[in-house]
Copies of this chain bind each other. A is one copy, B any other.
Amino acid sequence: MTGTAGTAPSLAGVVIAVVGGDAREQEITRQAVAAGATVRCYGFPWPDGGITGATLSPSAADAMQGADCALFPIPGIAADGSLFAPAAARPIVPDAGLLRRLAPGAVIILGASDAGLRAAAAEAGVTLSEYEDDTELMLLRAPAIVEGVLALAIGNTSVTVHAADVGVVGFGNIGGLLARALVALGARVHVFARNPAQRAAAYAAACTPHDLAALREVAPGLQMLFSTVPAPVVTRPVLAALPPGSLVVDVAAPPGGVDLAAATALGHRALWARGMGQRAPVTVGRSQWSGIVRRLAAHIKTQRERSAHGR
């Protein structure tokens, strides 16, 4: 993966606050330390023995005090405005008061913001840099997501993936890689997509392509169905056409694409493959870091140019 990161800039003298998250943030912290940054952490699971070179702060405010950069976790901001931080003692709400702790000209690098955070950042004069929709980072964590879905399928079926007839809805970044992995394990994979170019890509990947409209008609021959599109496509009529006891997995981000309640009511094994990015936290944390560091370097460069020009 070395090749994807490009040259690694030194972050000596840069203070980074890692706030909230899960085991991925441990690896992100390790990478930040290795890049030379001063790193202060709060709100994610702290490993026994700590992380060499990083500091565990007593609060989010302490971690962020004077920092040039704050890293917030990928899973988005909850309805109550708090960060994803199950390991924190209490909710961390990134309001303007908290954001003002950061150094002047600081940046927050995160998956996705919400209206509240955007308002707080504007008020505090802090830049936001979001990467949830970054194709590169999505592809770098895709193998972890695909493997998580495979393990889910293996753990929840009475037949093998090998030699099974499997449906995949959507052939985008995740759908395409998932379908290819299923083919690699010996499944006969049917891909359903509205877009003819996606269907042609599925054909080239040794899948059998179908228009999305054919899903209900093909369903009776499937034993597993994975949906990767964030639109309500796996509806009750489709689910009713699947053989009883099928595996139905929604791989899409909320609001998802499967009527999971109907699937369960119809006797299927229905699962939402959420948080797949949490598994393989070292691999994923490292890949996320490669995107974070590039954004941070760009921000620092802009800041320096601004101050050189007296702005």
Contact = CB atoms under 8 A, between A and B. Distances in A.
Interface in A111-148: 135-140, 142-144, 146-148
A196 interface: yes
A60 to B, nearest CB: 25
A185 interface: yes
Interface stretch (A69-77, A94-102, A198-206, A248-256): A198-206
B150 A186 contact: no
Interface in A132-187: 135-140, 142-144, 146-148, 150-151, 154-155, 157-163, 173, 177, 181, 184-186
Contacts of A157: 280
Interface stretch (A51-59, A207-215, A301-309): A207-215
B3 A208 contact: yes
A163 B211 contact: no
A210 to B, nearest CB: 4
A261 interface: no
Contact of A4 (B150, B154, B209): B209
A299 interface: no
Interface in A213-258: 214
A136 B197 contact: yes
Contacts of A136: 196-197, 199-200
A208 B2 CA distance: 9
A11 interface: no
A103 interface: no
A6 interface: yes
Contact of A139 (B158, B203, B210, B211): B203
Nearest to A187: B206
Interface string A281-311: 1111000000000000000000000000000
12 contacts: A3-B199, A4-B196, A135-B200, A136-B200, A138-B200, A139-B204, A140-B203, A144-B162, A147-B162, A150-B154, A158-B280, A184-B185
